[in-house]
Structure 1
Amino acid sequence: MKREIIQTNDGSTSIYLPDWNESYHSKHGAIQEANHVFIKNGLSLFEGKPVSILEIGFGTGLNALITYYESLKNQQTIHYVGVEAYPVSIEEVVQMNYPTEINSSLNDAFQLLHTSNWETEIQFNSNFTFKKRKQFFQEIKDSNTFDLIYFDAFGYDKQPELWSVVIFKSMFDALKKNGILVTYACRSILKRNMIEAGFKVEKLPGAPGKREMLRAIKAEV
């Protein structure tokens, strides 16, 4: 499938798939979307606490990079696992400008996110551990492991099977009690599927260019 490097409206880059008319990040701004959805409405809820994160759709590594940056700024202990079935190429990685746009000191960390071995946990520093798993989302079988899930799959229009009750049930199982899942998407069918999987779901204001997003909580009785 053809892939193109594009610049989004906040100056940060993304990968665009013209055959699908789909991009890895919002065309309105890759970095601002990631910060709004995953940091402001996800990670910030665990301020001052150790947190274990599962990312569904590691992709360009942007979400992992901004999370690592937050751990540096706040001295927060974070264990991060990124799942990806179709890794981007190193040739594409070097065209992503995230370290330049966020903080130039992050360049080595960004490269390490992509060059580290799959299925191997690495220690970035005393606060941040990272592991990539090359895995289809349907194969995820974690149980009571994560505090927070970044759900960043391609849109429902393109891959509805990734937004099914079955997938959300596996996300529910992967979370600890009171764990949280955040995603950029907001559709009635997605909310219904999350609720059927066991989540309590709320709509929140979306990132620029999107009216709403969803946050789901594993609020077990």
Structure 2
Amino acid sequence: MAEAENKGNIRLIITDDGSHSLFVPALNETYHSFHGALQESRHVFIKMGLEYALNQKASPHVLEVGLGTGLNALLAAECAETYKISVHFTSIEAFPVDYSLAASLNYPKFIAHPDAEQWFEDIHRSDWHVDRPIHSLFTLKKLHTKLEDCQLPSSQFDVVFFDAFAPSKQAELWGMEILTRIVESMASQSVFVTYCAKGQLKRDLKALGLQVETLPGPPGKKEMVRALKF
């Protein structure tokens, strides 16, 4: 990967598949895999999560932990358009990426739809805490709050994109208290996906009654986790 830009403390980088990510020096962490931001998100959250859920849910409601760069939301909007399904997407973000930096990210060029750039802008510039149609099949609700402070509805979400920074960087978000609240917010026949494959996470999800699968990870990462609630 190579650095492309530096705005404040967060640096824009180019990952191995040509898509951008952001590097946070304070955490020594990137928002996405440096092996390929786009291919990681497509594999973990879209293929193994949202597309998988379409076998059970005709109009899935997604909960995302960590809006971050907006890449997962953009890919979910693309998925809704591709499959012609209605998706409601709720995303929690405590520390939003400044739009001046988000606008530099090159994700829309990888989306084969003429409105991709507008979708991406609307994802970042839409108001907080209200439903915002990004296109006719994709509605976004952004919550500007910490996950620890968020009151999640019970049994509502069909898919969970758990995309917090790694447990070594944000341990508080991977603990049993937070996971319990996430699982309680999941509907029946729902799916939880994350890039993390730590043994403790898998044990905790199993203890909460989920059926846990260890799946092949995206390029550069051996494994990921998908957990099912029945």
TM-score bracket, shorter-length normalisation: over 0.9
Q: Look up the SS of the partner of 1:124 in the other structure.
A: strand
Of 80-89 and 94-103, deviating more is 94-103
Whether the 8 Å CA contact 1:121–1:129 is kept in 2: the answer is yes
Q: 1:32 aligns with which of 33, 39, 61?
A: 39
How far off its partner does 1:9 sit? 0.4
**Which TM-score applies when normalising by structure 1?**
0.95
The Cα offsets for residues 11-33 of structure 1, whole Å up to 9 and x where unpaired, read as 00011012322000000000000
Give secondary structure in 2 for the equivalent of 1:181.
Answer: strand
Structure 1 letter corresponding to 2:162: F
Point out 4+ residue stretches in structure 1 off by more than 6 angstroms: none
- In the other structure, the counterpart of 1:136 is 146
Give the whole-Å Cα distance in 2 for the aligned partners of 1:135 and 1:200.
29
Equivalent residue for 1:186?
197
Cα displacement string for residues 147-172 of structure 1 (whole angstroms, at most 9, x for unaligned residues): 00000000011111111111111110
User: What per-residue deviation string (whole Å, max 9, x for no partner) do you get for residues 192-217 of structure 1?
Assistant: 12222332211000011110000111
Match of 2:207 in 1: 196
CA distance change for structure 1 residues 4 and 104 in 2, over 3 Å: closer, same or farther? farther
6-15 or 100-109, which moves further after superposition? 100-109
Identity of matched residues, %:
39
Superposed, 1:99-118 pairs within 5 Å as 99-103=108-112, 105=114, 106-118=116-128
Q: Relative to structure 2, which stretch is displaced further, 1-10 or 144-153? A: 1-10
1:163-185 C-alpha deviation (Å, 9 max, x unpaired): 11111111101100121100001
CA distance in 1, matches of 2:26, 2:149: 26
The one-letter code sitting in structure 1 at the alignment partner of 2:78 is Y
Find the partner of 1:16 among 23, 29, 38.
23
Structure 2 contact 9–24 (Cα < 8 Å) conserved: yes
Residue 190 of structure 1: how far off its partner (Å): 1.1
d(CA) in 2 for partners of 1:97 and 1:104? Answer: 14
Structure 1: stretches of 5+ with no match in the other structure: none
* Matched pairs, number: 219
TM-score (norm 2): 0.91
| Structure 2: unaligned runs, 5 residues or longer | 1-7
Q: How far is 1:97 from its partner?
A: 0.4
Tell me if 1:74 matches 2:61: no
